[in-house]
Amino acid sequence: MTDAPNDFLKLFADRDRVADYAEGPRRFTPGLDALHRMAAILLAERMPDDGHVLVLGAGGGLELKALAEVQPFWRFTGVDPAAPMLDLARATLGAAAQRAELVEGYIDDAPAGPFDAALCLLTLHFIDRGERVRTLAEMRRRMKPGAPLVTAHSSFPQAEPARSRWIARYAAYALASGADPAMVEAATAGVSQHLPALTPQQDEDCLTEAGFSNVELFYAAFTWRGWVASA
């Protein structure tokens, strides 16, 4: 498990793979566009019109673009360890890129803030529990008191036979959404063998241990869960 983040990072550092990234998340993540819309609504509940959002795992730029389109005065600091993914984010943002500072690295490389909100989508499942709590705590340290955090990632039962059943459903959804069968097979093997996913309860516990309060589930779709919480 400890090598899993490096293995996945290699995929996101491959410029040929990154070029085809945009449709991948939509085929593997049910309701991704709706997830982005919900995230914007949840952040806006407690953010000023000219607020500044910390986005961890911002490579690709899909969530940055979704937020920028509905909030024309928000500013963003996006952090991601893969340079090709950040290049794609700049291209995806287009003219809105002038409102985004993109930082290559991890949470420790992010500015001190304080930020009005934070967002972390489809990212935390790549790191094990201890590092996940530390990463969340570092996000919280960079946020204003009471600021909203929205996070969503793989989170599903880890005891057999439920674990295998949910992974099979993950694969079935991707196939039904038109994903390439070879890609689905490789992704499913990666999730099954390397992804340090936790159960939904364990994920909620991570948020609490990192110092967040008012943890609420707002999104559940097959192997995916999303929460909103307060710093």
CA distance 210 to 136: 6
State what percent of residues in the chain have pLDDT above 90. 88
Residue pair 59/12 in contact (Cβ under 8 Å)? The answer is: yes
pLDDT for 106: 96
Residue 198 CA to chain centroid, in angstroms? 15
Confidence bin at 9 (pLDDT 50/70/90): low
Residue pair 59/121 in contact (Cβ under 8 Å)? The answer is: no
Summarize the confidence of residues 149-172 as an average pLDDT. 97
pLDDT for 7: 53
Going from the C-alpha of 25 to that of each of 78, 214, 226, the distances in angstroms are 18, 28, 15
pLDDT tens column, 82-121: 999 999 999 999 999 999 999 999 999 999 989 999 999 9
